[in-house]
C-alpha cells in the first residue's frame, strides 16, 4: 500500500527536488557576465573574480557579491553642465566637460568607493577642480577666438586628462579620455566680447589695408622708375639714330654741293617717281617742278636732228 502511495506522489516529489536544487544553486552560486567583474566579500574581506560563468559562493551573511561593469563608461555629472570658470586674464566663461573611464582594479575601487554612484560623485568633484585649473591657465583669446589656430582646446583637454589620471591613479579607475561639451560666454559680457572681437577684426583689416597701400606705392615707384629708365634709353637711342642719320646725310649733302644741278635733278626724279607710281593721268602745267623735266625732254627730242 505504501509503495502505491509513493508511486502515486512521485511526480510531485520529483518536482519538489528540482525546485530545491534550483534554490540551492541560486543560493550557493552566482552568474558572472563577460562584461562584469565581481568583488566577493567573505566576512568583509574582498576577493576579485574576473572569470565569466557560474561560480560557487556561500549565502549571505557569509559572503556578499558586488558586481561592476568593466566596460568604458561616459560620465559628465554636474561638471558636464555649463558652469562659470575664470580664465588667466580674469574673464568668466561657461564650460562643460565629460570623461570616459573604466574600472581597472575592482578591489581598489570597491575598497575606496564601494559603489559606482559614490565613485562618480567623487569623480565629479575632481572634474570640476581639474577643469577650473586647466581653463584658468589660459587667456580668454586662447579659448574664444575666431582663429582656430589660436585656440588651445587640445592642450586644455590634455591638461585635464593628466590631472584626473593623477588623482585617480590609486583608486582603481582609469580615465581614457576627456572631452569638452561646450564653451560659451555669459550674457553679461557677451556684448563686450563681441565689441572687442569687432575691434580686433577692424585692427587687422586696417593693418592689411595699410600694408596693401604701402605695397601699391612701392609698385608705383618701381614702375615710374622703370618708365624713366626706358624713356631715357629710348631718347638716347633716338638721338644716336638721328646723329647717325645726320652724319650719313651730311655725306650726301657734301656730294650735292659739288653739283647742285645734279642734286636738284635727282630730287625731281624722286618726286616724279613717287607721284607716278601707278597708272595715273595728270593734267598739270609743265612749268611746275618736277614736271619741267618732261618739258625739257620733249624739247630736247624736237631739237635733236634725226640721223639719216
* pLDDT at residue 137 in the model: 93
Low-confidence winner among 16-20, 58-62, 213-217, 238-242 (lowest mean pLDDT): 16-20
Distance of alpha carbon 213 from alpha carbon 226, whole angstroms: 20
b/e per residue 234-272 (b: at least 16 CB within 10 A): eeeeeeeeeeeeeeeeeeeeeebeeeeeeeeeeeeeeee
CA distance 238 to 245: 10
| Cell triple for 43 | 566576512
Whether the pLDDT of residue 187 is over 80: the answer is no
pLDDT attached to residue 139: 92
pLDDT reported for residue 231? 85
Sign of the C-alpha dihedral computed for residues 197, 199, 202 and 207 taken in this order: negative
Looking at residue 158, its pLDDT comes to 94
Is the pLDDT reported for residue 130 higher than 80?
Answer: yes
pLDDT higher than 70, residue 131? yes
Q: Collect contacts of 193-202 with beta carbons under 8 A, ≥24 apart.
A: 193/140, 193/144, 197/146, 201/146
Q: Read off the pLDDT of each residue in 231-256 and give the average, rounded to a whole number.
A: 79
Q: Are 95 and 102 in contact (CB under 8 A)?
A: no
Comparing 123 with 78, the larger pLDDT belongs to 123
Which pLDDT score is estimated for 308? 43
- The residue among 8 and 203 whose pLDDT is bigger is 203
Which pLDDT score is estimated for 145?
82
3-state helix, strand, coil in the chain (%, to 5): 60, 20, 25
Share of the chain above pLDDT 90, in %: 25
Per the CB < 8 A criterion, the answer to whether 87 and 94 are in contact is: no
pLDDT at 25 over 70: no
* Between 55 and 99, the higher pLDDT residue: 99
What is the average pLDDT value for the chain, to the nearest integer?
80
Q: What is the mean pLDDT of residues 158-167?
A: 94
Amino acid at each position: 500500500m505504501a509503495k502505491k502511495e509513493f508511486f502515486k506522489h512521485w511526480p510531485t516529489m520529483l518536482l519538489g527536488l528540482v525546485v530545491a536544487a534550483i534554490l540551492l544553486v541560486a543560493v550557493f552560486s552566482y552568474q558572472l557576465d563577460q562584461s562584469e567583474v565581481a568583488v566577493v566579500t567573505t566576512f568583509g574581506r574582498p576577493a576579485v573574480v574576473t572569470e565569466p560563468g557560474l561560480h560557487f559562493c556561500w549565502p549571505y551573511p557569509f559572503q556578499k557579491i558586488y558586481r561592476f561593469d568593466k566596460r568604458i563608461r561616459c560620465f559628465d555629472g554636474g561638471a558636464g553642465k555649463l558652469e562659470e570658470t575664470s580664465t588667466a586674464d580674469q574673464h568668466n566663461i561657461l564650460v562643460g566637460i565629460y570623461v570616459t573611464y573604466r574600472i581597472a582594479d575592482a578591489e581598489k575601487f570597491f575598497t575606496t568607493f564601494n559603489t559606482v554612484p559614490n565613485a562618480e560623485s567623487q569623480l565629479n568633484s575632481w572634474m570640476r577642480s581639474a577643469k577650473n585649473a586647466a581653463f584658468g591657465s589660459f587667456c580668454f583669446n586662447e579659448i574664444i577666438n575666431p582663429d582656430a589656430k589660436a585656440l588651445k582646446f587640445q592642450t586644455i583637454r590634455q591638461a585635464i586628462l593628466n590631472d584626473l589620471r593623477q588623482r585617480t591613479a590609486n583608486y582603481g579607475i582609469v580615465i581614457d579620455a576627456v572631452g569638452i561639451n561646450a564653451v560659451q560666454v555669459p550674457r553679461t559680457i557677451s556684448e563686450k566680447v563681441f565689441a572687442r572681437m569687432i575691434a580686433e577684426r577692424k585692427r587687422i583689416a586696417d593693418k592689411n589695408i595699410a600694408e596693401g597701400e604701402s605695397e601699391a606705392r612701392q609698385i608705383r615707384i618701381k614702375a615710374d622708375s622703370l618708365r624713366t629708365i626706358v624713356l631715357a634709353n629710348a631718347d638716347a637711342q633716338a638721338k644716336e639714330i638721328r646723329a647717325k642719320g645726320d652724319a650719313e646725310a651730311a655725306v650726301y649733302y657734301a656730294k650735292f654741293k659739288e653739283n647742285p644741278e645734279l642734286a636738284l635733278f635727282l630730287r625731281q626724279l624722286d618726286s616724279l617717281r613717287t607721284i607716278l607710281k601707278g597708272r595715273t593721268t595728270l593734267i598739270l602745267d609743265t612749268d611746275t617742278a618736277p614736271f619741267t623735266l618732261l618739258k625739257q625732254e620733249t624739247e630736247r627730242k624736237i631739237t635733236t636732228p634725226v640721223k639719216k
